[in-house]
Chains A and B, each alone.
Chain A
Amino acid sequence: MIPSLVIFLILAPLVVALLAFLNRKVVPFAGIVYPAAVVLIGASLGLLKAPMGGQPLMIPAHAEWVEPAMLIAEVGLSAYLLLLAFKQKDWMVGALVAVQAALLLAFHFKAGDKIHAEANLFIDPFSVVMGLIIGVIGTLIAVYAVGYMEDFYHHHHEFQDERPLFFALIFLFLSAMFGVCFSNNLLWLFFFWEITTACSFLLIRYKRDTQSTANAFWALRWNLLGGLGFLLGIIFLYKGVHTVEMNRLLMAPKMLVLLPVALISFAGITKSAQLPFSSWLVGAMVAPTPVSALLHSSTMVKAGVYIVLRFASVLAGTSFGLVVALVGAVTFLIGSFICISQNDAKKVLAYSTIANLGLIIMCAGVGTYEAVWAGILLIIFHAISKGLLFLCVGTIEHKLHSRLIEDMTGLAHRMPKMAVMVQIGIAGMFLAPFGMLISKWAVLRAIVDYNPFLAIFLIYGSAATLFFWVKWLGKLLIIDREYKNIEDGISQDQWIPLGILAGLTVLICAGFSWVAKMFIEPYMMVVYGTSVNLGVGNIIIMGIMLGLIALFPMALLNRGKGVRVVPPYLAGANQGEGGREFRNALDGSQAMELKNYYLQDYFGEDKLMRLGVILGSCLVVALVLMGGI
């Protein structure tokens, strides 16, 4: 039952993708996406039935045609990318594609017959977690995209309507993501990995303007470099221990697999946009917002941290692990710092995503059971809250015609429901007792035991996190003039996923100990033989905190009692309606304007990014050199 479910999850989105692609205005997109979403969510919830305790369930999934088909698809894809690269005159991408294809073919023809994987697929609690994220959050974002793309073409007549391609790519991507998290055969994993890279590339390029195309090639370049690392890792692995299977790799003597693991971690680092490669993810924000939510925040970039976390037990205690942890730590610190100076909401989300992925990478590099436990928790919470925030920003952008945080003043009156969701999302990102903070707490505890000095990165990074989330949150609340409610006309396609994600953010927080027990603990027991216990007392305390916060909406009922509303203090010079303007030096009326701090000179993007790229490059070079020696 479960094996066929896994195979179904990989193949079903593929069918949907084909249907969406062939659909030329025959059925509305909702007609394809909604049924697909119901089926995929249902199927991924079926994963809950998978055996959670004990060893992972191995799924042979042997079929004669699969491997040739994959090879043909890979060669075809390479040829297509090569063509595009030549058109764009991006020689770097061209060279990377060519080298990769050549290596893959060479490897295949030299060792292809001898390679035998006993189980191509597998399932264990960790991949169930990933499967649920992709199946539930991923499809919800696809549903959102139906409404969003409708609006998008309403606002942007300059772009050609290519929605069949768009939805086809989204579902192709979902299929590949399921493949990534259920593959045991690393060659399969690599195949799916490259498909996600290609989907990402095509979706960033989707608008086809100069900026999008340039950014898409930039993203493609670094992801291909990572892919090359991945492929080299597999080749070295095969040379060293004669296997391409993940479970065998994890059982092999540590010394023999360190180099392949380091190379695959390198691939993970590029995929999850760690420094020095982070800029591709920032550039990817030109894509339509559902793409940013799905690929560049909730799922695809999680593939990078997923693979590194898988190998965390190999990295634990090695100097490779320390370097990987440092890459993550530096990325977290610098990413969080840069967020402070950003006004563009999507850029804040992008940098904060980079930073949080850094945190997960740091956990993986540390590799102790506490750290991995915290890392998986981070993946779950981040996927939900960040997905929610991206989708909110997407809709807000369509309504306000701006995605600058400064323009979101008064959102609590202009779009009340949306403002509540943004607040839930932001609270989920940094406030106790919501998810991300629980995880950060766990990370801090894990790191203090491993290397307290790494904790310093975490501490400074979280301080910055606090600052930029609070000022965004505050901005929504300010009512500096009378605002009209402009929330009408947002389609149900957008409200439904938003509502579900907002609900999930709160629910998962309330039930996080259940989540930990259900998914993370069994995985930890298999890999480490032990798991984290936060203590019943602490969980109760967090429950109390959540309960207190839940009182907040109720307090709203009591808002106007026992107070007199007066204009703000403006040094006695109030004027105008509601006294919100003041008399200026020329006896004219001046509206007040409230602008947030951005501390540009201290946390400017350019300066910090330069520093980050230098530090990150040093670390990555160290990682590769250490492998060489």
Chain B
Amino acid sequence: MWWLGGLLFIVLAPFVGGLLSGIDRKITARMQGRIGPPVWQAFYDVAKLLQKENLVVRPTQKMYMDFFLVFTIFTGVLFFSGGDLLLVIFALTMAGVFFVLGGYKASSPYSFIGAQRETLQMMSYEPAVLIAAVGIYMVTRSFQVAQIVHHPTLIIKDLPGVFFAFFFILTIKFRKSPFDLSTSHHAHQELVKGITTEFSGRTLAKIEIAHWYEYVFILGFVYLFFASNPVLGVAMALLAFFCELVIDNISARVRWQWLLAASWGVAFVAGGANILYLMLKG
């Protein structure tokens, strides 16, 4: 039955991710005193993009985004079918690298600077994610997601610092302010659209869908910290998502220096201290 999770992910994640994205826009609009689009708006957008013409600067640039989508799905499948957490993270990196290379390949100043910043963002979040994996291993003695979810106690009880560091970089993965340096959703316009500037039509739709898959995967990772209590886990994942919306709406984009220093610093101080504590505790 190990494959069931992966299969469900492939089929359901776009719906969940797209819906989350729609809810995000609705809630954001309400926070700003607007009515906002329907919750299904994200699906409308993608449906529209699929019907539009596909403009490119370099004929090969779209392939990179195809592989971004494929590897993002691969990451999630690996995760939800209970694979090795480190391999999951490496696959995620692989997906991210394809995304960035697509931005480079487009050979446009805006996508180029977006790609640079996306790489910087990957460098910024990677320590926190790997520290989370290490911390989870120290508590559960396993890197296998299938075994981690069956850990009898709440993992977060031993890993508050690690969870905080992980939560901190969620903003980067959700592409929300203040860490939406490379590109952003909604109507933010700095650097045009950053890394996705030169992508349109089907390719842009694929990027959107990949982001939906990413959403679900990340929330799955959050769930892992509360896995012994599934109801709490889902609730906390949704709460984390809501917190991201609030943070998005109350903050402005920061410079990369701040991004790097903050995400590395938090991962080192909160995550590192937590790891050290666990180590000394034995």
Contacts and interface: CB of A to CB of B under 8 A. Distances in A.
B281 to A, nearest CB: 12
16 contacts: A441-B90, A455-B275, A467-B119, A474-B103, A474-B105, A474-B119, A541-B84, A545-B74, A558-B63, A559-B62, A564-B53, A564-B54, A564-B55, A566-B56, A594-B107, A594-B109
B242 interface: no
Interface stretch (A236-244, A363-371, A445-453): A445-453
Nearest to A566: B55
Contact of A445 (B93, B143, B279): B143
Nearest to B113: A594
Contacts of B115: 474
Interface in A523-561: 535, 537-538, 541-542, 544-545, 548, 552, 555-556, 558-560
B120 A597 contact: yes
B184 interface: no
Interface in A466-489: 466-467, 470-471, 473-475, 477-480
Given A471-B116, A556-B60, A596-B116, A541 B123 contact: no
Contacts of B192: 569
Given A473-B101, A560-B59, A566-B56, A432 B126 contact: no
A452 B130 CA distance: 12
A466 B100 CA distance: 12
Interface stretch (A174-182, A196-204, A456-464): A456-464
A474 B101 contact: yes
A549 B66 CA distance: 12
A559 B60 contact: yes
A548 B70 contact: yes
Interface string B189-201: 0001000011000
A478 B104 contact: yes
7 cross-chain pairs, A with B, having the tightest CB-CB distances, nearest first: A568-B108, A474-B104, A432-B90, A463-B126, A467-B123, A459-B130, A559-B59
Interface stretch (B131-139, B172-180, B225-233, B246-254): B131-139
B106 interface: yes
Interface centre among A477, A535, A570 (most CB of B within 10 A): A477
A453 B138 CA distance: 11
Interface string B47-90: 00000011111111011001100110010001000011011001
B119 A471 contact: yes
A436 B74 CA distance: 21
Contacts of A596: 116
Contacts of A592: 109
B27 to A, nearest CB: 31
Contacts of A568: 57, 106-111, 198
A567 interface: yes
Contact of A552 (B63, B100, B109, B276): B63
Contacts of B112: 478, 594
Interface residues of A, number: 57
B122 A467 contact: yes
B202 interface: yes
A97 interface: no
A444 interface: yes
A453 B93 contact: no
A563 B276 CA distance: 53
Interface in A578-607: 592, 594, 596-597, 602
Given A559-B60, A564-B54, A565-B58, 12 more contacts: A437-B90, A453-B275, A456-B131, A459-B134, A477-B107, A478-B112, A480-B107, A559-B59, A563-B54, A565-B57, A596-B116, A602-B257
Interface of A: 431-433, 437, 441, 444-445, 448, 451-453, 455-456, 459-460, 462-464, 466-467, 470-471, 473-475, 477-480, 535, 537-538, 541-542, 544-545, 548, 552, 555-556, 558-560, 562-570, 592, 594, 596-597, 602
A186 B97 CA distance: 46
Interface centre among A462, A563, A567 (most CB of B within 10 A): A563
Contacts of B278: 452
Interface string B270-282: 0010011011000
A274 B238 CA distance: 47
A552 B63 CA distance: 8
B164 interface: no
Nearest to B86: A441
A323 B115 CA distance: 39
A560 B57 CA distance: 11
Contacts of A431: 93-94, 97
B264 interface: yes
Contact of A466 (B56, B59, B86, B126): B126
B222 interface: no
Given A448-B137, A466-B123, A538 B275 contact: no
Contact of A562 (B67, B202, B264): B202
B260 A602 contact: yes
A567 B57 contact: yes
A558 B268 CA distance: 45
Contact of B138 (A452, A558, A559, A565): A452
B63 A555 contact: yes
B118 to A, nearest CB: 9
B14 interface: no
Contact of A563 (B55, B123, B127): B55
B59 A467 contact: no
B219 interface: no
B119 A537 contact: no
B104 A475 contact: yes
Contacts of A545: 74, 91, 94
B111 to A, nearest CB: 8
Interface in B187-216: 192, 197-198, 202
A456 B268 contact: yes
B264 A566 contact: no
B120 A467 contact: yes
Contacts of A445: 86, 143
Contact of A452 (B105, B127, B275): B275
A473 B115 CA distance: 12
Given A460-B264, A462-B126, A478-B112, A455 B57 contact: no
Nearest to B278: A452
A569 B55 CA distance: 11
A383 to B, nearest CB: 22
A426 to B, nearest CB: 10
A185 B272 CA distance: 44
A311 B165 CA distance: 38
B275 A466 contact: no
Nearest to A564: B55
Nearest to A478: B107
Interface centre among A441, A451, A556 (most CB of B within 10 A): A441
